[in-house]
Structure 1
């Protein structure tokens, strides 16, 4: 079960993970985000539904999706036991409360822009300052949220990530990928997560590589997970 980031969608996370995971016999299930303030509730409901099915389970996601999936794994790892095979974490953005983390500030600012300019107006401004690959992703994902985009971004901006103490209790293999030059998802946060988790590995790449190759996040997370003992 792989969850998208804030303002992103199931198509993006599927394009990142489905190919690399399928090579290892893992099916990437990617739920469609609920537009509006219930976006995180929708992610948790999807995780609960996946856990109700028999068989092994790996969870994860990108940014907000990684936060929600990891927090869910912390709460359910004891009950799931050996069924929970690990977590894929791409671009963690903060630890514990969001506070003034760059990604939280960006989500709040974007939500305000959407309220003032509408989705189309916000897209035009965002695309003007974004690389083409990101502009394309936003141009597809944001209209799917419609009027629910701003409240979904607001919900993402206040959703806490696991604390360092909570991460320390998650004794499953965790594969983390971070970008050395991403100011919104600082490398220091990924290093903090990796240090707190009992069984984690970190793979570091760059924004240019991430933009050029949609599967980079999936391959890097998978590599890190295997290095951490995933199977």
Structure 2
């Protein structure tokens, strides 16, 4: 049986990515393994990916890796760097946030600003302020996940994410597996230009564009689009 290992974006949790990718996984008779973020966000994800890859290498089971936002970046970087990644059959990258150093990325700045606000004002006042400026669905989702992660290193996760160095476009060009990418033309935190540049750089990749207003009402559309893109990208791989 195929396993889809997915990692949530910054400030999000395993509950969201499970919901987002479960229908897509079921459509190919796969199971979802959603990783819960820890304070040492990046290193923890990498270690757990290594452990899972070792397990699947021993069983001979195929697996995919993916995630949302920084989860997508970590998945791509891991494929490029980890010996165990050679057993992976693809990447599902939802809403890639930036390429290379974070620089002036809006998503990175948002993570830093949120961390500063939590440290300065406390969690609940920061949630209240976020609710005032966010769509209703996003406010509800982040209010839930921030509270669930508060005692599990939320502040540290945000700070680590804000300085994360993602794969460069040159590095992405070396990805050896098919990659399904989803990006949203109306998402200010994850610019559509980033998703398009990933698709132009990765040899065996396909981009599906889904509006934030669509998957905000039904997060499963995000996972569905990633899977459909990966299936189309797989057809590009020489047989």
Classify the TM-score, shorter chain: over 0.9
Per the TM alignment, residue 168 of structure 1 is displaced from its structure 2 partner at its CA by 0.8
- State whether structure 2 residue 212 is matched by structure 1 residue 212: no
Residue in 2 that maps onto 1:70? 76
- Answer with 6-15 or 146-155: which moved more: 146-155
Question: Counterpart of 1:53?
Answer: 55
Structure 1 position 151 matched with structure 2 position 156:
yes
1:111 equivalent to 2:115? Answer yes
Secondary structure of the corresponding residue to residue 228 of structure 1: helix
Deviation track 1:51-94 (CA, whole Å, cap 9, x = no partner) reads 01121120010001001111001113x6543x211000000010
**Aligned ranges for residues 80-95 of structure 1 at < 5 Å?**
80-81=85-86, 83-95=87-99
Structure 2 Cα separation of the partners of residues 169 and 207 of structure 1: 29
Matched, 1:172 2:177: yes
State the alpha-carbon separation in 2 of the partners of residues 134 and 79 from structure 1. Answer: 35
**Alignment CA distance shift 1:79-1:44 (3 Å):** closer
In the alignment, structure 2 segments of 5+ residues that lack a partner are none
Q: 1:15 aligns with which of 19, 26, 48?
A: 19
Alpha-carbon separation, structure 2, partners of 1:109 and 1:6: 13
Distance 1:132 1:146 in 2: 21
The alignment of Structure 1 onto Structure 2 pairs a total of residues equal to 227
Q: Which residue of 2 aligns with 1:5?
A: 9
Query: Conserved in 1, the CA contact under 8 Å of 2:50 and 2:84?
Result: no
Question: Over aligned residue pairs, what C-alpha RMSD do you find?
Answer: 1.4
Inter-partner Cα distance in structure 2 for 1:94 and 1:114: 24
TM-score, length of structure 1 as denominator length? 0.94
* Whole-Å separation in 2 of the counterparts to 1:79 and 1:169: 16
Q: State the secondary structure of the residue aligned to 2:30.
A: coil
Cα drift, residue 206 of structure 1: 0.7
For structure 1, the 5+ residue unaligned runs are: none
CA distance in 2, matches of 1:32, 1:80: 20
Aligned partner of 2:228 in structure 1 is: 223
Q: Secondary structure at the match of 2:33?
A: coil
Query: After TM superposition, which residue ranges in structure 1, 4 or more long, deviate above 6 angstroms?
Result: none
Report how far residue 145 of structure 1 moved. 2.1
Residues 78, 85 of structure 2: 8 Å contact kept: no
What is residue 124 of structure 1 aligned with on the other side?
A: 128
For normalisation by structure 2, the TM-score amounts to 0.91
